[in-house]
């Protein structure tokens, strides 16, 4: 294309002179203009440009979308100039002061005043075409934008929206955008009878895609208001077939408009291409697209720095459930996409666009023009690679730090949009206020309903401080949701909070924070943690209140996290403090600086948290290689002479270590993997022994002193459960659903008790020296009476049991944990149901740690797959959540105590956390080198634990108060 867009334009005009080039809707009529008519206008404009003697300059075009636009840009290229669309909504003189353009063309409708002055100067030339006036201005500008390292050849200048950073001027050569036109022509099957909706603002570079797609293929552009009955009239001759737009603009249409017209069975729309921002709306598309609708829906990804599109994906709605399943798509011609994961431990990283030919130039002041002519463009976006497919995961600045927790705004939006009743949503972070706010639009969903949905779906670190419903989200000039406008909108929202007293503000924000419909009067005698609060939520609540009452947050934070104050206590503290403050307010002579208030609050909050921390130091004393992963939990066995710690491995190796000295007592190797923990016991004359089952069904008994085998049998069924012993008999559960009673001295099987037809994985537990408690993967929970060698009672839960049964209150009660997240308490002897807790938000594989707090009150601590450690208190047989603490990955290992104030819990990613047992605050952390499923055991000041890097570890800890 020696003359750029002009060559494309005149070729189409020659081949399709009578075809309709532009349809323009005005006053109820669709006016049509043929390619031959536009060709004449183009030549007329180019003659006038030549008279102005402009060559290789930048010509500014100040106009709305109209029939003249294709003619003007073709004429500009014919005269060897570059064009740039200027935003008509802004002050032309302000723009031109910055750009110093030599030629300005303004297109005005003759219905309006054409006596237009620019810098108090009348136009150098005026011509009239189709009821339009074209005004030419020649400026005395010494600076040429194209003198700054530009690429020679025909081009246009695009301006980034500024929604993701500083606005940039980008020189786009025609050869950069031409591969897009060729690819999309084929992909969209553009024909000369297509009607392409000319909807994109001219200052947004995708507008050139619409113009060029039409002009290359002899199709027509429709210029019309964004009203459905105009875009899809009953007379389908002028009905659109190709529509490129942003998701934000498209999803502003009502459910009825999308279902009954745009994606209906009779719709003429052949192509819907959504790009420019993340696509959040798969639910609506899938819900409202008629089975007989012909529309093919695409998502487009690209950046202005490599105008226009880099990737495209056709959406198969029947294969997609959530927005996070929308792929980035396949690369368009002369473009590659690279995900930079070098500085990441995951499959996510920066999206880098690569091209040897599609090179644009940044023309911003102070730039030498070389930055964007390089091969690589860092888009500022994050991509995730899963099984060879790239998915968009937001921008780098979408991941924010919220009170020490990393939170991804795009992740929140994706999850919220899974609600079928939502049209659009946007999540914004206000860093100065430290607030997370969600705006949404919906025809049916209320703020309260969305609040409850978010609470049920997301962890508390993702819960917004405020949820606000709007008719439509505000969009910027390019049609993208404007988070800048949303941020400004929120400033007025704080006014309502200021109208409340401090006490009422606390109560109002408490109910909003926890997303519950409780009545304050009904919970005034409860603590913050007992109604679902956490340390993180306490800080969030105090931060929100401090925006209006700067001292209130630091005042109530210690009362909230101490967990020994009722809500009524806290309300009384607030009222007492602020009545006193009101009395003294008249004495104040000046208002404190708001920044100093904020600083004071942050400082006091930090001090309060520090005072509640007992820092724990960890030090590795020794480790031993077992040959393969150690998923089994170590067993600690204390005798008068020694303390043994013993563990088994997937390698089949058994290791026994002196827990005090760290010296190896002995090792032995079995022929099968071992995942079960070792049961230790006193075997009389044969000394202290251990027994363990393995994957191939072998049960081995050995001495702890030197690991010598005493006996070995095979039962023919996999064993993952820890055995137990009663009255000289060993009880072992296996994957055939049976428990075998074995003579502990010689390994003879005495009898077999069939519990269930499915596997038993949980450890067996002995109660009252008579009862063996068992939970199975079938959901069966049962007790065996060893005196009668039969099942004393049997119950059925709704999901599998992986966790070991846990006893409390002198073996009167046993708690079974089912994987779905419910805790069931039954009496040991008869299996009577006592209480049930079902407040966990994920699957549970961890067993319970139990601590007696006071008479008739116990604390139950367990890990959960939702990345949390839970503490549930049971008082007078009534369970309630005391606290829940988020860690960095799921917790399969059973928590245990260091002392009466400190717990430890280990998440699957190998991170050990020391936790305040009263309030759940994480005090210190220690990182193992690999995943960890083994549960820790503690003796003296040492922690013993297995790791998936094949080692058994001994970690010394020191508590510094």
DSSP 8-state class, residue 659:
T
CA distance 253 to 246: 12
Summarize the confidence of residues 775-802 as an average pLDDT: 91
The pLDDT > 90 percentage for the chain reads 49
Q: Please tell me whether the peptide bond between 638 and the residue prior to it is cis, using omega within 30 degrees of 0.
A: no
Q: Does the pLDDT of residue 961 top 70, yes or no?
A: no
Q: Does the pLDDT of residue 58 top 50, yes or no?
A: yes
φ and ψ at residue 433, rounded to 5 degrees? -90, -15
Confidence of residue 404 (pLDDT cuts 50, 70, 90): low
| Beta strands 125-129; 195-197: pairing state | unpaired
CA distance 531 to 639: 44
CA distance 537 to 886: 11
pLDDT in tens, 470-528: 888 888 888 888 888 888 777 655 555 555 678 888 888 887 776 565 677 778 888 88
**Token pair of 516 as six digits:** 């519950």
Radius of gyration of the chain (CA): 36
* Sheet architecture: strand order including 336-340: 336-340, 348-354, 376-386, 389-395
Other Cβ atoms less than 10 A from the Cβ of 672: the count is: 17
CA distance 176 to 1: 12
Other Cβ atoms less than 10 A from the Cβ of 766: the count is: 17
Q: Can you state the percent helix, strand and coil of the chain, rounding each to 5?
A: 25, 35, 40
Other Cβ atoms less than 10 A from the Cβ of 622: the count is: 16
Q: Which CA distances in Å does 492 have to 168, 486, 662?
A: 31, 11, 65
CA distance 769 to 786: 9
Summarize the confidence of residues 388-403 as an average pLDDT: 86
Q: Enumerate residues 6+ apart whose C-beta is below 8 A from 144.
A: 57, 58, 102
Report pLDDT for 81.
82
DSSP 8-state class, residue 723:
-
Report pLDDT for 598.
39
Report pLDDT for 379.
87
CA distance 740 to 661: 36
Closest of 503, 509, 607, 523 to residue 561, by C-alpha: 607
Q: Which CA distances in Å does 663 have to 410, 631, 648, 666?
A: 52, 22, 17, 9
* Sheet architecture: strand order including 466-469: 422-430, 435-442, 466-469
CA distance 39 to 11: 10
Closest of 313, 302, 296 to residue 276, by C-alpha: 302
**Token pair of 505 as six digits:** 């503000």
Does an H or E element contain 496, and which?
Answer: helix 494-498
Q: Give me the count of residues in the chain.
A: 961
Q: Does the pLDDT of residue 13 top 70, yes or no?
A: yes
Report pLDDT for 586.
44
Per DSSP, the three-state class of 187 is helix
| Poorest-pLDDT segment among 130-134, 200-204, 367-371, 690-694 | 367-371
Is residue 524 a contact partner of residue 571, using CB atoms and an 8 Å limit?
yes
| Beta strands 466-469; 435-442: pairing state | parallel
Q: Does the pLDDT of residue 322 top 60, yes or no?
A: yes
Report pLDDT for 37.
94
Report pLDDT for 825.
96
The beta-strand segments (E) located in 809-940 are: 813-817, 823-827, 833-837, 849-854, 857-864, 868-875, 878-886, 896-897, 902-906, 911-916, 922-927, 937-939
Q: Does the pLDDT of residue 241 top 90, yes or no?
A: yes
User: Residues 620, 625, 631, CA angle at the centre, nearest 5°?
Assistant: 90
Q: Where are the alpha helices (DSSP H) in 565-655?
A: 567-584, 594-611
Report pLDDT for 613.
47
Output the DSSP codes for 428-473: EEETTTTEEEEEEEESS--HHHHHHHHHHHS-GGG--SEEEE-SS-
Report pLDDT for 324.
87
Q: Enumerate residues 6+ apart whose C-beta is below 8 A from 515.
A: 451, 452, 454, 455, 463
Q: Enumerate residues 6+ apart whose C-beta is below 8 A from 61.
A: 69, 72, 73, 76, 83, 84, 85, 86, 105, 107, 202
DSSP 8-state class, residue 262:
I
**Token pair of 518 as six digits:** 């409780």
pTM of the full predicted structure?
0.57
Confidence of residue 753 (pLDDT cuts 50, 70, 90): very high
Other Cβ atoms less than 10 A from the Cβ of 498: the count is: 10
Per DSSP, the three-state class of 703 is strand
* Sheet architecture: strand order including 738-743: 724-726, 729-733, 738-743, 749-754
pLDDT in tens, 85-96: 988 777 666 666
Q: What is the largest CA-CA distance in the chain?
A: 115
CA distance 131 to 139: 26
Q: Does the pLDDT of residue 567 top 60, yes or no?
A: yes
pLDDT in tens, 842-899: 889 899 999 998 888 999 999 998 889 999 999 988 999 999 998 988 899 999 999 8
* Sheet architecture: strand order including 698-703: 679-682, 688-693, 698-703, 709-714
Q: Does the pLDDT of residue 118 top 80, yes or no?
A: no
Q: Does the pLDDT of residue 669 top 90, yes or no?
A: yes
């Amino acid at each position: 294309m020696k003359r750029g867009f002009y060559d494309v334009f005149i070729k189409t005009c020659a081949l399709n002179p009578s075809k309709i080039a532009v349809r323009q809707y005005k006053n109820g009529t669709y006016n049509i203009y043929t390619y031959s008519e536009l060709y004449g206008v183009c030549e007329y404009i180019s003659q006038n440009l030549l008279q102005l003697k402009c060559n290789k300059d930048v010509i500014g075009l100040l106009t709305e979308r109209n029939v003249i636009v294709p003619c003007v840009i073709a004429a500009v290229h014919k005269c060897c100039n570059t064009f740039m669309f200027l935003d008509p909504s802004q002050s032309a003189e302000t723009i031109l002061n910055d750009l110093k353009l030599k030629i300005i063309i303004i297109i005005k409708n003759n219905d309006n005043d054409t006596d237009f002055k620019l810098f108090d100067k009348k136009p150098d030339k005026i011509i009239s075409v189709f009821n339009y006036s074209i005004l030419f201005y020649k400026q005395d500008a010494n600076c040429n934008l194209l003198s700054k390292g530009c690429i020679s050849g025909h081009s246009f200048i695009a301006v980034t929206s500024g929604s993701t950073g500083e606005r940039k001027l980008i020189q786009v050569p025609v050869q950069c955008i031409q591969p897009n036109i060729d690819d999309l022509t084929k992909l969209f099957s553009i024909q000369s009878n297509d009607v392409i909706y000319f909807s994109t603002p001219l200052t947004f570079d995708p507008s050139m895609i619409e113009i060029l797609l039409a002009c290359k293929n002899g199709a027509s552009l429709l210029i019309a208001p964004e009203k459905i009955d105009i875009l899809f009239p009953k007379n389908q001759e002028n009905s659109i077939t190709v529509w490129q737009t942003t998701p934000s603009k498209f999803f502003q249409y009502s459910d009825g408009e999308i279902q009954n017209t745009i994606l209906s069975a009779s719709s003429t729309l052949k192509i819907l291409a959504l790009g420019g921002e993340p696509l959040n709306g798969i639910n609506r598309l899938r819900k409202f697209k008629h089975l007989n609708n012909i529309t093919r829906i695409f998502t487009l990804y690209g950046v202005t720095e490599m105008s226009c599109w880099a990737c495209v994906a056709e959406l198969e709605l029947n294969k997609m459930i959530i927005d996070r399943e929308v792929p980035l798509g396949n690369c368009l011609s002369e473009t590659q996409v690279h995900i930079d994961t070098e500085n990441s431990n995951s499959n996510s990283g920066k999206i880098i666009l690569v091209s040897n030919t599609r090179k644009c130039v940044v023309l911003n002041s102070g730039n030498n023009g070389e930055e964007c002519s390089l091969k690589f463009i860092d888009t500022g976006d994050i991509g995730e690679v899963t099984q060879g497919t790239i998915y968009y995961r937001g921008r780098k600045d979408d991941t924010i730090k919220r009170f020490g927790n990393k939170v991804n705004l795009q992740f929140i939006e994706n999850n919220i949009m899974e609600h079928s009743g939502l049209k659009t949503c946007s999540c914004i972070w206000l860093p100065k206020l430290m607030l997370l706010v969600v705006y949404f639009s919906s025809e049916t969903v209320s703020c309260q309903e969305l609040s409850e949905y978010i609470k049920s779906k997301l962890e508390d670190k993702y819960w917004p401080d405020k949820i606000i419903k709007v008719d439509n989200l505000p969009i910027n000039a390019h049609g993208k949701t404007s988070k800048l406008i949303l941020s400004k909108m929120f400033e007025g929202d704080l006014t309502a909070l200021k109208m409340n007293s401090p006490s009422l503000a606390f109560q109002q924000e408490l109910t909003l924070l926890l997303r519950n419909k409780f009545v304050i009067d009904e919970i005034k005698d409860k603590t913050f943690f007992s109604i679902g609060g956490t340390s993180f939520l306490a800080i969030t609540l105090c931060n929100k209140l401090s925006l209006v009452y700067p001292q209130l947050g630091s005042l109530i934070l210690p009362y909230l996290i101490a967990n020994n104050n009722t809500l009524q206590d806290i309300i009384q503290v607030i009222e007492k403090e602020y009545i006193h403050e009101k009395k003294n307010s008249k004495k104040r002579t000046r208002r404190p600086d708001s920044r100093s208030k904020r600083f004071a609050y942050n400082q006091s909050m930090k001090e309060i948290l520090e005072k509640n921390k007992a820092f724990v130091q960890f030090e590795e004393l020794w480790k031993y290689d077992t040959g393969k992963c150690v998923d089994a939990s170590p067993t600690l066995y204390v005798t008068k002479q020694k303390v043994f710690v013993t563990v088994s491995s997937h390698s089949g190796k058994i290791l026994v270590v002196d827990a005090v000295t760290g010296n190896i007592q002995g090792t032995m190797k079995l022929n099968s993997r071992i995942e079960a923990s070792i049961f230790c016991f006193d075997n009389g004359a044969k000394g202290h022994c251990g027994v363990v089952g393995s994957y191939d069904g072998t049960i081995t008994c050995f001495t702890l002193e030197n690991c010598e085998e005493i006996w070995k049998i095979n039962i023919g069924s996999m064993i993952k459960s820890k055995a137990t012993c009663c009255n000289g008999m060993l009880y072992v559960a296996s994957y055939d659903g049976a428990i075998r009673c074995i003579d502990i001295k010689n390994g003879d099987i005495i009898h077999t008790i069939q519990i269930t037809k499915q596997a038993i994985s949980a450890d067996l537990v002995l109660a009252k020296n008579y009862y063996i408690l068992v939970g199975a993967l079938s959901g069966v929970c049962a007790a065996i009476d060893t005196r009668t060698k039969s099942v004393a009672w049997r119950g059925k839960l709704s999901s599998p049991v992986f966790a070991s049964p846990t006893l409390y209150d002198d073996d009167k009660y046993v708690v079974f944990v089912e994987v779905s997240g419910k805790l069931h308490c039954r009496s040991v002897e008869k299996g009577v149901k006592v209480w049930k807790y079902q407040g966990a938000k994920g699957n549970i594989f961890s067993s319970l740690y139990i601590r007696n707090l006071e008479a008739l009150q116990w604390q139950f601590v367990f890990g959960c797959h939702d990345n949390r450690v839970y503490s549930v208190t049971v008082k007078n047989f009534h369970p309630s959540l005391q606290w829940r603490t988020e860690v960095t990955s799921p917790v399969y290992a059973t928590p245990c105590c260091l002392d009466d104030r400190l717990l430890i819990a280990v998440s699957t990613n190998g991170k050990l956390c020391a936790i305040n047992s009263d309030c759940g605050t994480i005090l210190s952390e220690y990182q193992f080198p690999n995943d960890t499923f083994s549960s820790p055991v503690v003796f003296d000041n040492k922690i013993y634990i297995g790791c998936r890097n094949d080692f058994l570890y001994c970690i010394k800890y020191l508590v510094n108060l």
